[in-house]
Amino acid sequence: MTQRRNAIPIWRKQEVISCIDNEGNGVPIRDENHFRNLGLDVDGASIRNCYRHKEEIMAAKPHQRRLGGGGRKPLSKNMEDMLYDLAADKRLRKEQVTRDWIADQALACHASLHAEDEAPSPFAASQHWVSKFMDRYSLSLRRRTNLTTLLDVVLGSNCGELPIR
């Protein structure tokens, strides 16, 4: 049976840091035995790592399990900015922006940015990547509603709720 990694909760790390500051006089290694006496199975490296990231840990909410910002970073910030500008321009011209168009433009932008590279980094504008790109930049596919297709009941009920001034 493989051993599972146990993440130390943020509140426990905050406890460790405050104990180091108060009882250990700011020296992390002095408190290793103290934490073992408390029943914590932590090594000196974990304690020093907590103390090294003191500002981020103390600023985090105690109920979290991990600090944020550990995920994969975007492949190319310049490419994503170019792609966002292209999508915004297309929307300003009242043209439709689709997922397929975003994927095609992403591949074209990536190819133009890495034209001089001998071995450009592999990039595939998958549907998952397009969805995450749209989430990062708060893009949504515009949906048009034609008022002639709505039922009179729906339109009438909405009009009855308007306040009269």
Look at residue 163 and tell me whether its pLDDT is greater than 60.
Answer: no
Amino acid occupying residue 131: S
Supply the pLDDT for residue 131: 93
Supply the pLDDT for residue 43: 76
Look at residue 139 and tell me whether its pLDDT is greater than 80.
Answer: yes
Which is more confident, 11 or 34? 11
For the chain, the domains span 10-59, 74-165
Look at residue 149 and tell me whether its pLDDT is greater than 60.
Answer: no
Averaged pLDDT of the chain: 79
Which is more confident, 117 or 51? 51
Q: Is the dihedral of CA 128, 133, 136, 140 positive or negative?
A: negative
| Contact in structure between 52 and 105 (CB atoms under 8 Å) | no
Spatial distance between the Cα atoms of 28 and 80, rounded to a whole number of angstroms: 42
Supply the pLDDT for residue 124: 87
Look at residue 106 and tell me whether its pLDDT is greater than 60.
Answer: yes
Question: pLDDT for 37-93, tens place per residue?
Answer: 777 777 778 888 888 888 999 998 988 888 887 777 777 888 999 999 999 999 899
**Axis-axis angle for helices 77-92, 99-113 (nearest 10):** 130
pTM: 0.52
